[in-house]
Amino acid sequence: MLAWLLDLITRSKKPKTRRSPQWSRIRAEHLKQEPSCQACGASTGLEVHHIYPVHLFPNQELLRENLITLCEGDVCNCHFLFGHLRFWRSYNPTVREDVTQWMQRIKNRP
């Protein structure tokens, strides 16, 4: 029970970061190039995730190679699961490789 409560508390606290004035444009361009979740293929509830988070690596905020599209769906929150390894203050530098393997499993499921 305590683990569930702790997970609920940490899940709701994303770090807040001030964004560059260019972020809206970069985000929109990224979503045009990558319009679905790279982990599950969803096309709704999309977030442009920074592989290396802005609050730790501010110089990488606008780099296209630091961005990946992940969903925050009701059934599966790929952003939280793959991008943050189920802890908002964490990050996953191998998220691209992880979601590629996961998508292959989905495509090849029995």
CB 55 within 8 A of CB 19: no
* Count of residues making up the chain: 110
What pLDDT, on the 0 to 100 scale, is given for residue 108?
93
Element (H, E) at 13: none
User: At residue 4, does pLDDT exceed 90?
Assistant: no
User: Which pLDDT band holds residue 54 (cuts at 50, 70, 90)?
Assistant: very high
Please state, in angstroms and as integers, the Cα–Cα distance from residue 22 to each residue in 48, 61, 62, following that order: 14, 10, 8
Portion of the chain with pLDDT greater than 70, in percent? 85
User: At residue 13, does pLDDT exceed 70?
Assistant: no
Reduce the DSSP state of residue 76 to 3 states and report it.
coil
Q: For residue range 76-96, list pLDDT tens digits in order.
A: 999 999 999 999 999 999 999
Q: Say which range, 7-11, 45-49, 105-109, has the weakest mean pLDDT.
A: 7-11
Give the integer Cα–Cα distance in Å for 79 and 85. Answer: 9
Q: For residue range 28-42, list pLDDT tens digits in order.
A: 999 999 999 999 999
Side chain identity at residue 32, one-letter code? K
**β-bridge mates for residue 68, sequence order:** 49
Side chain identity at residue 62, one-letter code? L
Kindly tell me the sign of the dihedral angle through the C-alpha atoms of 45, 84, 101, 28. positive
Instruction: List CB contacts of 96: < 8 A, sequence separation 6 or more.
Output: 38, 51, 68
